[in-house]
Amino acid sequence: MKIITNNKNAYHNFFVSDLMEAGIELKGGEIKSVSNGKISLSDSYVEIKNGEAILKNCYIAQDNSVSDSSTKRPRRLLLHKVEILKFERKVKEKGFSIVPTKVYFNKGKVKVEIGLAKGKKLYDKREVLKERAIQRDIDRVVKNE
C-alpha cells in the first residue's frame, strides 16, 4: 500500500471513526495526476445521493494530454449498497459527516479511506494540542535519560 496523500485537516477538525476503504471512479488523465501526487483532500467531503456516495470538492490536477474533466468535479465512490446505507443512516440520525482521510494505491487501484466525522469544538482542539505537548515533553525526558 503506497499512500499518496493524507487529510490532516480531517483529524484536526473532526473526531473520525468507522474508517472504510472505497474505490474511486477516475477518468483517464486523473489517474496519472493522482500517481504523481497532484491531489488535495482539504475541504473535501462525501455526500450520499440516490444511493450513491459522491466525493465532492476534491482537487485533482489536470493532465495536459487530456482535458475532459474539471479539477474539482464530483467523483463517484465505489462502495457496496450495505456500506452506503450504513453511512447514510448514521449521517441522518446522529449528525455525522463523511470525510476522506487518505488516498492510496492498493494492488494497483486508487483507493480512498473515508470515515464518519463529528465536529470538534475549539476547546477539544486545545485539549488535543495540550496532550501532544505533554507527550512530547515526556518523550524528550525519557530519551535524554
Which pLDDT tens digit goes with each residue over 70-119? 788 899 999 999 999 999 988 988 878 999 999 999 988 999 999 999 88
pTM attached to this predicted model = 0.79
Give the model's pLDDT for residue 124: 84
Alpha-carbon span 145 to 136, nearest angstrom: 15
Alpha-carbon span 61 to 40, nearest angstrom: 9
Alpha-carbon span 108 to 17, nearest angstrom: 26
Give the model's pLDDT for residue 46: 93
Give the model's pLDDT for residue 64: 66
16-52 pLDDT per residue, tens: 888 999 999 988 788 888 888 889 998 899 999 998 9
Give the model's pLDDT for residue 56: 93
Give the model's pLDDT for residue 13: 85
Beta bridge partners of 130: none
Q: In which band, very low, low, confident or very high, does the pLDDT at 145 lie, cut at 50, 70 and 90?
A: confident
Domains of the chain: 2-120 (2.40.280.10)
